[in-house]
């Protein structure tokens, strides 16, 4: 037997120590394993799912926009979209990326630089912020939408030549354009969601918006976006570290958007657009004696409104644009065209966003105010050729003269000198101190009651409010601008002679509301501005006995299965503070404008006024530095038709024929002036009371035709 020497026993002890230390290492590993897999397991499981499962958004088919008869104004169609899978692209070398992007650029007809610009993430410091991709990098980035099937086939068949490039079909907006309607400025358009909108949606936990969403940018598409957009679906796929798809996960189907039923009528809309375009073209061929050149007719609008409830039947604006240019993302070329100065702002809806001096179309409203505040139907003022107000000569239109007349006659012939005196009457009665901002003014008050100077509340975004140039406005404007004009007067550096004279006067006395201002206001001139829509609903109030409505285009939201989800009832915005007799008096007076001697009579010769009792008023507003703005505002008990052409000459001259044509269509009046309501473009003449019938299988039938109500 061997004896253990010293170093053997010592090493045995050391081994025990080593063993304890080593086993404690293993205990550490087990503890760490427990921590990773159990204590923080959820965190890592989430991280694992985030990188191995990719959610590909399946966009929801957007809801339709249909007219009163169920005719689609906006629908969908399939389009080929070419997109780049950024995660796959990033795995390639710079040279490979350049090769494939150059190749795909050639196929889709773009330059390499354009394709690169589109595929850059907006977070990339080198990104062009107008074309960059704001969505997540895992979502395929579209580089060309609505390409031909040939392009898509080429990419699909030569898959190996186009790594990371996808060709897929996508639902995009289509414009069936029944009867040739455009209505782009009412319908609106779509574009890619912005990062800000996406962040807001995420904050609000709004699942209907994703980075791939298209969002309504104007018009009904924007206003009713939440109903139209639907709920996107998701396709979950397992991907490997290189982003290649390994297998399918679960799918969540998208929920299609709901259909918006509008009160627009495609046939009336088409006629309104056609008539507006024809009238503007005619005006451009008409010589203007005042300026010595043809009328520019730069813009115009038509509003057809249901007088009973403020529903919009047609709303045309010019200039307009082709809504198809936005489908699949607008090209820079088309964008440049829309914003070119000579295009004259086709994205501005003149009907709701254009602001123009109302001119004489203001007189009926002011008459209501005057007759409710002391003046009577027997009040006479001299319709002289001109009137001197505060040292300035205020002329009548074409220096006409009718002698002492009543309000009825003054409206029929649109006598300016008559209304100057009405304006001065109240000016002298309540506010002869021009510096008194708070002076009582029944004419300003009645204009406000008719809804001027404030948005109408129509269901369209970006509506203009117009402007009532009263004392308060004048003072505020002076405060805002006096610095500019006083400086100009002091330095004597006015750019033209008009401003050279205007600047010192404005600087010293611009806040004063002079008799001239009151006179100008009384004929809708000066700084007062209205939108064609405001005018139409004011006339609707005259038509329906004094109720002011919020105009509405949307009538109802209907689910894809045909279930009515929401209806939009007419909303009363206010009542005209007037006695019935005064409203009735003005209403009857406005019939005489179409009768012999009236301003509209020469355009309504032979019209069956006994059967279709149209009331009307013309307006020809003078605009500093421009040609006159022409207005025709007409109504029956059923409808209001307002038409405006900027720089188009007199109202009756530029728009009279067009307005008559619209009335012919609405009531089925033929070329021989015979009324046959069976031929009216809207079956039953009136807007249908009921909604179109949705079968739930995708087809829409016209609503039941209501009984024609006596007008």
Partner 1 sequence: MTAIPSTRLGATRVPISRSRVRRQSVDVPLMLAVSAILVMGSVLVWAATKNNVGLNAGHPNSFFARQLVNIAIGVVLFVAVLATDYRWLRILAPVVYLGSILGLLLVMAIGSTVNGAKSWIHLAGMSIEPSEFVKLSIALASAVVIAERTEGRRRPPGTWEAVAIIALFGLPAAMIMLQPDLGSTLVLSAMVFGILAVAGLSWRWLVGLLASVCVVGTLVVSTHILKAYQVNRLLAFTNPSLDPQGAGYNTIQARIAVGNGGVFGQGLFQGAQTRAGFVPEQHTDFIFTVAGEEFGLIGAGILVLLFAIVVWRIVRIAVRSDDMFGRVAAAGIACWLAFEVFQNIGMCLGIMPVTGVPLPLVSYGGTAMFATMMGLGLVQNIHLRSHRLLR
State whether residue 493 is helix, strand or coil.
Answer: coil
- Residue 240 CB, shortest distance to partner 1, in Å, is 4
Listed ranges 39-47, 106-114, 266-274, 429-437: which one lies at the site for partner 1 (CB under 8 A): 39-47
Considering only residues 348 through 407, tell me which ones interact with partner 1, judged by CB under 8 A: none
d(CA 146, CA 174): 11
- Residue 704 CB, shortest distance to partner 1, in Å, is 58
Residue 1 or residue 393: which is nearer to partner 1 going by CB?
Answer: 1
138 binds partner 1 (CB under 8 A): no
Considering only residues 650 through 709, tell me which ones interact with partner 1, judged by CB under 8 A: none
- Residue 123 CB, shortest distance to partner 1, in Å, is 16
6 binds partner 1 (CB under 8 A): yes
d(CA 539, CA 300): 18
Long-range contacts of 431-436, Cβ-Cβ distance < 8 Å, separation of 24 or more: 431/471, 431/513, 431/518, 434/512, 434/513, 434/514, 434/515, 435/511, 435/512, 435/513, 436/471, 436/513
52 binds partner 1 (CB under 8 A): yes
Nearest residue to 527 via CA among 457, 476, 577: 476
d(CA 641, CA 304): 5
Residue 47 or residue 565: which is nearer to partner 1 going by CB?
Answer: 47
Contact 105, 115 (CB under 8 A): yes
Residue 59 or residue 249: which is nearer to partner 1 going by CB?
Answer: 249
The H-or-E segment that residue 136 falls in is none
- Residue 28 CB, shortest distance to partner 1, in Å, is 7
Residue with the two structure tokens 């006695």: 579
Length of the chain: 711
Contact 540, 312 (CB under 8 A): no
Residue 62 or residue 86: which is nearer to partner 1 going by CB?
Answer: 86
- Residue 238 CB, shortest distance to partner 1, in Å, is 7
Residue with the two structure tokens 């073209």: 281
Considering only residues 8 through 37, tell me which ones interact with partner 1, judged by CB under 8 A: 8, 10-12, 14-19, 22-23, 25-26, 28-30, 32-34, 36-37
Contact 360, 618 (CB under 8 A): yes
491 binds partner 1 (CB under 8 A): no
Q: Which of 148, 240, 344, 676 binds partner 1 (CB under 8 A)?
A: 240
47 binds partner 1 (CB under 8 A): yes
123 binds partner 1 (CB under 8 A): no
- What is the sign, positive or negative, of the torsion defined by CA atoms of 306, 651, 178, 338? negative
Residue 30 or residue 393: which is nearer to partner 1 going by CB?
Answer: 30
Residue 43 or residue 561: which is nearer to partner 1 going by CB?
Answer: 43
Residue 33 or residue 281: which is nearer to partner 1 going by CB?
Answer: 33
- Residue 34 CB, shortest distance to partner 1, in Å, is 6
- Residue 245 CB, shortest distance to partner 1, in Å, is 11
Residue 21 or residue 624: which is nearer to partner 1 going by CB?
Answer: 21
44 binds partner 1 (CB under 8 A): yes
d(CA 408, CA 381): 12
Q: Write out the E strands in 559-710.
A: 564-567, 571-575, 615-621, 629-635, 639-646, 693-694, 700-701
- Residue 37 CB, shortest distance to partner 1, in Å, is 4
Residue with the two structure tokens 């890619």: 192
Q: How many residues bind partner 1 (CB under 8 A)?
A: 45
Considering only residues 209 through 238, tell me which ones interact with partner 1, judged by CB under 8 A: 238
Q: How far is CA 440 from the centre of its chain?
A: 36
Q: Which of 139, 183, 239, 387 binds partner 1 (CB under 8 A)?
A: 239
- Residue 298 CB, shortest distance to partner 1, in Å, is 59
Residue 367 makes CB contacts below 8 A (sequence gap 6+) with 407, 410, 411, 422, 586, 589
43 binds partner 1 (CB under 8 A): yes
Cα dihedral 562→567→568→569 (10° resolution): 130
Per-residue x/- track, 411-430, partner 1 (CB under 8 A): --------------------
Residue 29 or residue 704: which is nearer to partner 1 going by CB?
Answer: 29
245 binds partner 1 (CB under 8 A): no
DSSP state of 399: G
Nearest residue to 611 via CA among 671, 676, 562: 676
d(CA 531, CA 513): 24
Instruction: Enumerate binding residues for partner 1 (CB under 8 A).
Output: 1-2, 5-8, 10-12, 14-19, 22-23, 25-26, 28-30, 32-34, 36-38, 40-41, 43-45, 47-49, 51-53, 238-242, 246
């Amino acid at each position: 037997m061997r004896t253990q020497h010293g170093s053997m026993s010592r090493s045995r002890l050391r081994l025990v120590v080593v063993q304890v230390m080593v086993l404690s290492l293993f205990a550490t590993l087990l503890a760490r394993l427990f921590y990773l897999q159990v204590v923080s397991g959820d965190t890592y499981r989430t991280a694992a799912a985030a990188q191995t499962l990719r959610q590909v958004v399946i966009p929801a088919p957007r809801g339709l926009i249909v007219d009163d008869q169920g005719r689609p104004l906006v629908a969908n169609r399939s389009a080929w979209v070419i997109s780049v899978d950024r995660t796959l692209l990033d795995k390639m070398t710079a040279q490979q990326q350049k090769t494939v992007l150059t190749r795909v650029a050639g196929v889709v007809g773009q330059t390499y630089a354009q394709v690169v610009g589109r595929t850059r993430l907006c977070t990339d410091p080198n990104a062009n912020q107008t074309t960059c991709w704001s969505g997540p990098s895992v979502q395929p980035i579209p580089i060309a939408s609505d390409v031909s099937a040939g392009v898509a086939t080429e990419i699909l068949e030569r898959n190996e030549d186009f790594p990371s490039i996808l060709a897929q079909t996508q639902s995009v907006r289509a414009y069936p354009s029944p009867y040739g309607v455009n209505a782009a400025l009412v319908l609106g358009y779509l574009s890619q969601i912005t990062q800000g909108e996406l962040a807001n949606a995420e904050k609000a936990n709004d699942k209907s918006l994703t980075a791939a969403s298209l969002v309504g940018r104007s018009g009904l598409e924007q206003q009713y976006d939440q109903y139209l957009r639907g709920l996107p679906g998701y396709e979950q796929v397992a991907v490997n570290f290189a982003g290649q798809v390994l297998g399918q996960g679960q799918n969540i189907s998208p929920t299609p958007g709901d259909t918006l039923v509008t009160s627009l009528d495609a046939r009336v809309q088409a006629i309104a657009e056609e008539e507006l375009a024809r009238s503007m073209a005619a005006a451009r061929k008409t010589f203007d004696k005042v300026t010595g050149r043809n009328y520019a007719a730069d813009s115009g609008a038509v509003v057809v409104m249901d007088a009973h409830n403020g529903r919009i039947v047609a709303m045309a604006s010019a200039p307009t644009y082709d809504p198809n240019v936005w489908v699949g993302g607008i090209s820079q070329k088309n964008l440049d065209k829309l914003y070119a100065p000579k295009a004259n702002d086709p994205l501005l809806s003149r009907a709701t966003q254009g602001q123009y001096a109302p001119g004489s179309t203001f007189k009926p409203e002011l008459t209501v105010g005057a007759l409710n505040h002391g003046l009577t139907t027997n009040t006479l003022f001299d319709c002289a050729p001109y009137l001197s107000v505060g040292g300035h000569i205020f002329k009548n239109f074409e220096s006409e003269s009718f002698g002492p007349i009543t309000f009825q006659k003054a409206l029929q012939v649109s006598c300016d000198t008559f209304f100057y005196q009405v304006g001065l009457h109240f000016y002298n009665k309540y506010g002869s101190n021009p510096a008194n901002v708070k002076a009582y003014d029944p004419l300003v008050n009645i204009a406000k009651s008719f809804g001027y100077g404030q948005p109408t509340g129509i269901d369209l975004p970006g509506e203009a409010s117009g402007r009532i140039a009263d004392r308060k406005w004048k003072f505020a404007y002076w405060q805002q601008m006096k610095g500019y004009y006083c400086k100009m007067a002091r330095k004597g550096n006015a750019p033209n002679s008009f401003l050279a004279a205007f600047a010192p006067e404005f600087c010293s006395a611009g806040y004063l509301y002079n008799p001239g201002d009151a006179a100008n206001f009384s004929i809708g001139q000066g700084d007062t501005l209205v939108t064609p829509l405001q005018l139409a609903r004011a006339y609707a109030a005259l038509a329906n006995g004094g109720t002011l409505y919020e105009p509405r285009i949307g009538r109802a939201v209907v689910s894809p299965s045909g279930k009515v989800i929401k209806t939009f009832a007419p909303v009363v915005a206010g009542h005209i503070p007037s006695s019935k007799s005064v409203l009735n008096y003005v209403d009857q007076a406005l019939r005489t404008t179409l009768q012999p001697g009236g301003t509209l009579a020469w355009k309504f010769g032979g019209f069956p006024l006994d059967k279709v009792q149209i009331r009307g008023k013309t307006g020809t507003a003078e605009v500093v530095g421009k040609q006159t703005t022409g207005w025709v505002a007409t109504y029956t008990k059923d409808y209001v038709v307002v038409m405006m052409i900027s720089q188009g000459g007199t109202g009756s001259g530029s728009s009279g024929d067009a307005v008559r044509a619209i009335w012919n269509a609405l009531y089925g009046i033929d070329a021989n002036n015979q009324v046959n309501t069976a031929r009216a473009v809207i079956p039953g003449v009136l807007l249908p009371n009921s909604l179109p019938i949705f079968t739930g299988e995708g087809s829409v039938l016209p609503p039941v035709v209501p009984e024609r109500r006596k007008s």
